[in-house]
C-alpha cells in the first residue's frame, strides 16, 4: 500500500453554516503522478457507503457530490497498482490532493530502485497485488520474475532463491525484520515462510548485509508485513485459487482492526496439491499440503514509544519424487538415461508417501521503538531513536526415506533447532543530511538430532553463539549520496559428531571464527531522470556446520554429502555498478553490472562416484574449496506505446569460474530473457447496472527463454546440462465493484504450450521433466 500512495494532503475549505442533515457536501480532488507531477487520468474513486464512484479526467480531477455528514471509505484504484482505501470523517466540503506513486515497473508489479534517492543499493520489490495474484506459488518461485534472481529446486514444491549465483548460507532472508533461522544449508530446504503474510517482498542486490546477523556475502531478501492501518473498523480480505496442475487449492484470510487500546491483525493460509504433471506423465508423490497462521499486535504506548508483537507458524508436508530414489547402481545409471522416471504411475493422487519432508517453523518476535527527539531535533526536522528486538524461532524438520521392514514412517532425518536473537540499534539524524546507525546483535542456536531415526545423523548436534556489532553512516550532498559501514562478527561453534567406524565414539569440535565486513556506496543523480550507483563490499564467511561435518545420505537431494573439516573462511569482494532512469517519457530502464571475487569459495562438488548403501544407490557429493569469481549483468526495460499498451523485458547474464582449477563453477543459473506485452483497459466497463463495473482490466502475454548452460564441461556433473527451453504464459485480471464488496478476479496459464523441458538448477532434472501446462484461476474479496 505504501508503494501505491506516498501521502495524502487534506485541505478543508471554510464552508458556510450547514444543517446537521446537510447532504450537499462535495468531495473533490486532483490526482497526480508523484514522480512527474503530471495529472493521472482514469484513476477510479469509489465510495463504499454510497455505492457511487467516479474516475479522474485528463486533468486528474474528480468529484463526488451530494454527500451527507458522516464517515466514509474511499477506494482509489489505478491500473498501475493495487487498491488503497482511505477513511474520512466528512464534515464539510473537502478537497483531496492525492499523489500516486505510479509503479515504474519492468515486470508486472515489480518496482525498480525503490527509494533510490536515500540508498546506494539496487532494490526491486514485489508489491501486495503481485503476491496475491501469484498465491499458488511459494516464496522462491515468486521472486523468479526479478532479473538476477533464480531458483534452486528439487521438484517444483521445494525451491530456494538464488541471487547473483549465491544461495543458502550465503543469502540472508529476513522474515518481518528477523533473519530466518532454520536448516537453510540444504539445497532441498526451502524458506519456511508464507509469502502471503507480506505486504511487499524486497530483494536488495549488492553488498547490503552489514546490518544483518548471519553468514552473508551480499544480497538480502526482506519479507515485510504491513503496519496496521489506523482505521477503527474491521477490515480484511480473503482469496482463493485453483490450479489444474496438481489440482491444487488454496485459501487465505486476513482480518485487521485498529484500536487505541491495541491494534491487531491475523493472517491464515491453507493449501493442498496432489501429483504434479509434466507435458507427458505424472510426477508421482509430488503432492504437498500447507497450513500457516500469523498474528500481529501493535500498541502506541506513548507518543514516543511504539511496541509490536508478531507470531507466525509455518507447517508443510512435501512429497519427493519417488523415481529419484533408486535401489541399485544399474537402475541409477538407467534412470539418468531414460525419458520417464522409475515408479511412474498413470493415475493422479493426493497421497504423500515416503520419500517426503515435514517442516514446522514457529517465530515469535517482540519489538519496541523509542524516540528521543530533543527540542533541537524538532527545530531541525530530524530524529533519533532506539530500536530493540527479541525473537525466538523453533524449526523442526523431518525427512522420510523408503525404508525396509515397515520403517518408512520413521524419519531418516529428524532435526530440531531453537534459536534466540536479540538486537539493539540506535539511529541519529543530523540537520546536514547525515545519518548515523550503530547496532549490537546476538544469536544463540541449539541444533539437535532425534535419535529415533536409528541412522547416523547427516549433520551433528551443535551449539553456536554469534555476536555482531555494526555501524553505518550515510550522507547526502546535493545530488550525491554516500553510504559506508563496518561490521564485526564473532562465531563460536561447538559440535559433537559420531565416528563412522566401530566402536562408535563421540568426536567434539570447537571453532572460533572472527568475520569482518565493510562497504562503500555512492549514488549520483545525473539529472531528474537518470541515477548512477556504485557499491563495493568486502565480507568474510566462516564454513557452516554442514560444510564441515556432513557425512551421509541427504534424502531430499537423493545424494550422499561429505563434509570437509579442513575448510577455511571465505573472503569476498563484490563490486556493483548500476544506472537507471528514463530516456524519454515512454522508456524506462535499469542496468546492473556486478563482479564478485571469492577466495576459498566453498562448493558441493559431484564426485565421480556412485555409492551403493543398504538404502539404495546414490551419487556422492563432497564439499571442496577453491578461488572463484562470479560476474554478470541484469538489464530491465519498459516501453509504453500508449496508456494502454506496455512492453517489458529483462535479460540476466551470469558466469562463474573456478580459478584454482581453471574450470567453470557448477550450479550457476542459466542466462535468461523474459518479456511481456500487456494491454490495459483504462475506462471502467459497466456490467448490469451503474453499481457494477469492471475496472483495471488487464491482459498480458509473457515469454521466458532460458539458455543452455554451456559453462559446464563434460564430466563435471553426472549428466550434461539440459537443453535450452522457451515458456509462454498468459495472464488476465480485473476488478469488480458490487455494492460494498470489491472483487478481484485473476487467471493465468504457465507453460501455455505444454513444453517438455528440464531446468539446470532443478535437481529433479536427473530423473524427470519439469512441469507441463498449469492454469490458475483465483478470486480475492476485500471488505
Q: Are strands 587-613 and 551-554 parallel, antiparallel or unpaired?
A: unpaired
pLDDT at 36: 59
pLDDT at position 590: 94
Are 198 and 121 a contacting pair, CB within 8 Å?
no
Backbone dihedral region for residue 51 (phi beyond 0: left; psi -120 to 50: alpha; all else: beta): left
pLDDT at 774: 98
- Give the three-state DSSP class for 707: coil
Domains of the chain: 5-100 (2.60.40.10), 222-228+237-782 (2.40.170.20)
How far is Cα 296 from Cα 292, in angstroms, rounded to an integer? 14
Angstrom distance (rounded) from CA 134 to CA 778: 9
**CA–CA dist 503, 49 (Å, integer):** 77
The predicted structure's pLDDT at residue 35? 56
Contacts of 584 (CB under 8 A, 6+ apart): none
The Cβ of residue 58 has, within 10 Å, a number of other Cβ atoms equal to: 9
Tally Cβ neighbours within 10 Å of residue 774. Answer: 21
Residue 674 to residue 456: CA distance in whole angstroms: 45
| First and final C-alpha spacing in the chain | 16
> pLDDT at position 122, please?
81
CA distance 471 to 678: 44
The whole-model pTM stands at 0.87
Cα 343 from Cα 320, distance rounded (Å)? 12
Identify the residue whose cell numbers are 496459464: 749
Taking the CB of residue 330, how many other CB atoms lie within 10 A of it? 10
The alpha-helical segments, DSSP class H, found in 438-566 are 545-549
Residues in the chain with pLDDT values less than 50: 1-20, 103-117
Count H helices and E strands in the chain, helices first. Answer: 5, 45
The DSSP symbol for 141 reads H
Locate 114 and state its grid cell: 525503490
Distances (CA, A) of 301 to 304, 309, 369, 370, 371: 8, 13, 10, 10, 12
3-class SS at 297? strand
Phi-psi group of 33: left, alpha or beta (phi > 0 → left; psi -120 to 50 → alpha; rest → beta): beta
Query: Strand ranges (DSSP E) for 41-109?
Result: 44-47, 52-55, 61-67, 70-77, 84-90, 94-100, 105-107
Is 105:114 a contact under the CB 8 Å cutoff?
no
Amino acid at each position: 500500500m505504501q508503494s501505491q500512495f506516498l501521502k495524502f494532503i487534506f485541505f478543508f475549505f471554510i464552508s458556510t453554516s450547514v444543517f446537521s442533515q446537510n447532504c450537499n457536501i462535495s468531495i473533490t480532488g486532483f490526482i497526480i503522478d508523484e514522480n512527474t507531477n503530471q495529472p493521472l487520468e482514469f484513476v477510479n474513486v469509489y465510495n463504499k457507503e454510497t455505492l457511487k464512484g467516479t474516475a479522474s479526467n485528463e486533468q486528474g480531477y474528480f468529484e463526488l457530490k451530494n454527500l451527507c455528514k458522516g464517515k466514509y471509505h474511499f477506494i482509489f484504484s489505478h491500473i498501475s497498482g493495487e487498491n488503497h482505501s482511505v477513511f474520512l470523517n466528512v464534515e464539510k466540503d473537502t478537497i483531496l490532493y492525492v499523489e500516486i506513486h505510479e509503479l515504474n515497473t519492468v515486470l508486472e508489479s515489480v518496482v525498480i530502485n525503490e527509494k533510490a534517492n536515500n540508498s546506494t543499493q539496487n532494490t526491486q520489490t514485489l508489491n501486495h497485488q503481485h503476491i496475491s495474484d501469484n498465491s499458488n506459488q511459494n516464496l522462491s518461485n515468486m521472486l523468479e520474475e526479478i532479473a538476477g534472481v533464480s531458483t534452486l529446486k528439487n521438484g517444483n514444491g521445494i525451491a530456494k532463491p538464488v541471487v547473483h549465483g549465491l544461495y543458502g548460507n550465503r543469502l540472508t532472508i529476513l522474515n518481518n525484520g528477523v533473519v530466518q533461522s532454520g536448516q537453510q544449508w540444504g539445497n532441498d530446504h526451502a524458506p519456511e515462510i508464507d509469502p502471503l503474510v507480506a505486504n511487499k517482498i524486497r530483494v536488495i542486490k549488492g553488498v547490503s548485509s552489514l546490518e544483518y546477523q548471519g553468514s552473508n556475502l551480499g544480497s538480502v531478501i526482506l519479507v515485510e508485513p504491513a503496519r496496521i492501518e489506523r482505521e477503527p473498523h474491521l477490515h480484511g480480505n480473503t482469496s482463493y485459487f485453483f490450479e489444474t496442475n496438481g489440482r491444487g487449492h488454496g485459501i487465505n484470510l486476513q482480518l485487521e482492526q485498529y484500536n487505541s487500546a491495541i491494534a491487531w491483525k491475523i493472517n491464515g493460509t491453507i493449501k493442498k496439491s496432489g501429483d504434479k504433471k509434466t507435458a507427458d506423465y505424472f510426477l508421482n508423490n509430488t503432492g504437498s499440503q500447507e497450513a500457516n497462521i500469523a498474528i500481529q499486535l501493535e500498541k502506541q504506548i506513548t507518543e514516543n514509544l511504539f511496541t509490536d508483537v508478531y507470531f507466525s507458524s509455518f507447517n508443510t508436508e512435501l512429497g519427493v519424487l519417488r523415481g529419484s530414489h533408486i535401489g541399485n547402481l544399474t537402475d541409477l545409471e538407467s534412470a539418468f538415461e531414460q525419458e520417464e522416471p522409475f515408479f511412474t504411475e498413470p493415475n493422479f493422487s493426493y497421497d504423500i508417501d515416503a520419500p517426503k519432508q515435514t517442516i514446522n517453523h514457529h517465530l515469535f518476535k517482540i519489538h519496541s521503538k523509542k524516540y528521543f527527539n530533543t527540542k533541537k531535533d524538532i527545530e531541525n526536522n530530524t530524529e533519533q531513536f532506539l530500536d530493540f528486538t527479541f525473537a525466538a524461532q523453533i524449526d523442526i524438520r523431518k525427512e522420510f526415506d523408503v525404508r525396509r521392514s515397515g520403517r518408512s514412517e520413521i524419519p531418516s532425518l529428524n532435526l530440531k533447532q531453537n534459536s534466540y536473537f536479540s538486537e539493539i540499534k540506535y539511529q541519529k539524524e543530523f540537520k546536514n543530511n547525515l545519518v548515523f546507525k550503530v547496532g549490537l546483535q546476538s544469536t544463540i542456536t541449539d541444533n539437535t538430532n532425534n535419535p529415533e531415526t536409528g541412522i547416523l545423523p547427516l549433520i551433528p548436534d551443535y551449539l553456536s553463539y554469534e555476536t555482531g556489532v555494526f555501524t553505518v553512516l550515510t550522507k547526502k550532498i546535493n545530488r550525491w549520496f554516500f553510504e559506508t559501514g563496518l561490521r564485526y562478527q564473532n562465531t563460536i561453534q561447538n559440535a559433537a559428531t559420531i565416528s563412522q567406524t566401530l566402536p562408535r565414539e563421540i568426536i567434539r569440535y570447537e571453532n572460533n571464527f572472527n568475520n569482518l565486513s565493510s562497504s562503500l556506496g555512492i549514488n549520483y543523480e545525473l539529472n531528474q531522470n537518470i541515477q548512477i550507483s556504485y557499491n563495493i563490499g568486502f565480507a568474510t564467511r566462516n564454513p557452516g556446520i554442514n560444510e564441515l561435518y556432513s557425512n551421509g545420505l541427504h534424502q531430499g537431494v537423493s545424494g550422499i554429502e561429505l563434509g570437509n573439516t579442513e575448510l577455511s573462511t571465505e573472503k569476498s569482494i563484490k563490486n556493483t555498478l548500476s544506472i537507471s532512469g528514463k530516456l524519454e517519457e515512454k522508456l524506462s530502464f535499469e542496468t546492473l553490472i556486478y563482479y564478485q571475487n571469492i577466495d576459498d569459495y566453498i562448493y558441493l562438488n559431484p564426485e565421480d562416484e556412485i555409492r551403493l548403501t543398504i538404502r539404495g544407490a546414490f551419487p556422492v557429493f563432497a564439499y571442496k574449496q577453491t578461488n572463484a569469481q562470479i560476474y554478470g549483468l541484469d538489464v530491465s526495460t519498459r516501453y509504453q506505446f500508449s496508456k494502454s499498451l506496455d512492453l517489458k523485458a529483462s535479460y540476466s547474464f551470469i558466469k562463474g569460474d573456478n580459478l584454482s582449477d581453471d574450470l567453470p563453477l557448477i550450479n550457476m543459473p542459466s542466462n535468461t530473457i523474459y518479456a511481456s506485452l500487456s494491454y490495459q483497459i483504462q475506462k471502467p466497463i459497466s456490467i448490469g447496472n451503474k453499481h457494477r463495473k469492471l475496472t483495471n482490466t488487464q491482459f498480458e502475454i509473457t515469454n521466458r527463454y532460458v539458455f543452455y548452460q554451456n559453462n559446464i564441461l563434460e564430466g563435471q556433473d553426472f549428466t550434461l546440462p539440459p537443453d535450452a527451453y522457451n515458456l509462454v504464459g498468459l495472464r488476465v485480471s480485473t476488478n469488480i465493484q458490487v455494492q460494498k464488496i470489491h472483487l478481484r478476479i485473476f487467471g493465468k496459464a504457465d507453460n501455455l504450450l505444454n513444453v517438455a523441458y528440464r531446468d539446470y538448477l532443478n535437481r529433479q532434472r536427473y530423473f524427470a521433466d519439469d512441469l507441463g501446462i498449469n492454469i490458475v484461476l483465483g478470486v480475492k474479496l476485500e471488505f
